[in-house]
Amino acid sequence: MLRSCYPVLGTTDVAASAAFYREHFGFETSFASDWYVSLRHPASGDELALLDAAHPSVPEGHREPARGVLVNLELDDVDAVAARLDEAGVPVVQALRSEPFGQRHVIVRDPGGVLVDVITEIPPAAEFAEAFSPAS
């Protein structure tokens, strides 16, 4: 029986990456060492961990920072969060915009280079509405 599932992101600066998720998105530390930090969001219970990409627990040949990863964080008000991120100087990779598939979002980069897609769901355009299951 599966008990948990969460991403562990390899990074070159565990402390800076952990601070980013705590400061900008409200995650709290549930475990911390100099090479690994586990975070949990108090409202949703969602978890995220950060690992020193060069740590010996990572298999040889795979000791590199996370790339090609997009972490989605769905929030109530992406406009407000995007303004706060901009004021804090967080690097924006894609400016705030609305998508016809039902998202308003901004994509930023965390200190380890991972892309973070900050999203608020919006009504999809008619051509995408049918693609959603009734439970969505």
Domain count along the chain? 1
In a domain, 135, yes or no: no
In a domain, 21, yes or no: yes
In a domain, 134, yes or no: no
In a domain, 70, yes or no: yes
The pLDDT, as a whole number, for residue 50 is 98
CATH number for the domain spanning 31: value is 3.10.180.10
The pLDDT, as a whole number, for residue 112 is 92
In a domain, 3, yes or no: no
**Range of the structural domain that residue 48 is part of:** 8-56+64-129
The pLDDT, as a whole number, for residue 135 is 66
Q: At what angle do helices 14-25 and 78-87 cross, to 10 degrees?
A: 130
Tens digit of each residue's pLDDT (9 = 90 or more) over 12-71: 999 999 999 999 999 999 999 999 999 999 999 999 999 999 999 999 999 999 998 999
Average pLDDT over residues 71-100: 97
**To which H or E segment does residue 30 belong?**
strand 28-32
What percentage of residues in the chain have a pLDDT greater than 90? Answer: 88
In a domain, 136, yes or no: no
